[in-house]
Amino acid sequence: MSVVPGSVRAEVVTRAGNRCEYCRLPARGQVATFPIDHVNPRTAGGSDDPSNLALACPSCNGHKWAFTDGADPASGEPVRLFNPRSDIWEEHPGWSSVSPGQLVATTAIGRGTIERLRMNDSDLIVLRRLLAEDGLFPEIT
């Protein structure tokens, strides 16, 4: 496990708005401390520089592990994962208006990332809905 200096962690947390930069789960109210993800994994030469770091919830971080790619479930083709440092979140995953709390994607990168990080596991959808009911997840409309 990588240990990022406290000052760097604070910078990453603030930049992320204290929420997962992959699925947008807020850290507030969660029991576990959100880990710092290396967007480009250290095993692939990724650095500890803030430009390579992202706040990730334990679920996204655990499923991302050292992966940088996945497969688009619509085509089966390989696709790189969403990069919180260079991609715009709203352009890849978004919220379903049909099933609140569920993520949908309009791009191959978004679909591949949702699949690889298992962002739509049923427990996560329920958690997002409960947080939204308490006003802790205002993105869901």
Give the residue, chosen from 9, 12, 16, 22, that forms a contact with Zn ion under the rule CB under 5 A: 22
Tokens, residue 2: 């990588």
Per rule CB under 5 A, is residue 105 in the interface with Zn ion? no
Question: By rule CB under 5 A, what count of residues binds Zn ion?
Answer: 6
Strand 78-80 relative to strand 36-38, pairing: unpaired
Among 16, 23, 36, 81, binds Zn ion (CB under 5 A): 23
Classified as helix, coil or strand, 38 is strand
Question: Is-contact 57 103, C-beta < 8 A?
Answer: no
Q: How far apart are CA 49 and CA 33, in angstroms?
A: 20
Binding mask of the shown chain, residues 48 to 67, with x at each position contacting Zn ion by CB under 5 A: ---------x--x-------
By beta-carbon proximity to Zn ion, the closer residue of 25 and 108 is: 25
**Would you say 57 or 108 has its CB closer to Zn ion?**
57
Measuring CA to CA, which residue among 123, 127, 110 is closest to residue 22?
Answer: 110
- Between residue 118 and residue 137, which ones bind Zn ion under the rule CB under 5 A? none
Rule CB under 5 A: which residues touch Zn ion?
20, 22-23, 25, 57, 60
